[in-house]
Amino acid sequence: LLQPGDLVLVNRAAYRRAAPQPGDIVVARDPRQPDRMLIKRVDAIMQDGRCFLLSVNPTQGTDSRTFGAVPVDHVLGKATCRIHST
């Protein structure tokens, strides 16, 4: 789980040629507050192309069970690495 001060490296080019896949950890715009970023796991790709995103810690985070599936253009990139704060 992310801790305050952790850094996340994001591959913004990951989905230029391919769509997100179930299991990917992605950075996406919050559909309720587009200036806020979310880090979630892709659970499913809906038939219309939207992504159903789940929190890694479902008891502490909000996700698509609350705000619904998000358009794929809200997905900004694939999280590739976490750097722990010191």
Task: Quote the CA–CA distance of 45 and 6 in Å, as a whole number.
Answer: 28
Report the run of H or E that residue 21 belongs to, with start and end. Answer: none
C-beta neighbour count of 1 within 10 angstroms: 9
Q: Cα separations (Å) of 1 from 6, 39, 47, 62?
A: 10, 11, 30, 14
What CATH number is associated with residue 15? Answer: 2.10.109.10
Q: Is the pLDDT of residue 4 over 90?
A: no
At 25 the pLDDT is 96
Q: Is residue 66 part of a domain?
A: yes
For 8-40, write each residue's pLDDT tens digit: 999 999 999 999 999 999 999 999 998 999 999
Structure token pair of residue 45: 């790709």
For 37-56, write each residue's pLDDT tens digit: 999 999 999 999 999 999 98
Per-residue confidence at 1, pLDDT binned at 50, 70, 90?
A: confident
Task: Quote the CA–CA distance of 15 and 35 in Å, as a whole number.
Answer: 20
Domain, as residue range, for 42: 7-83
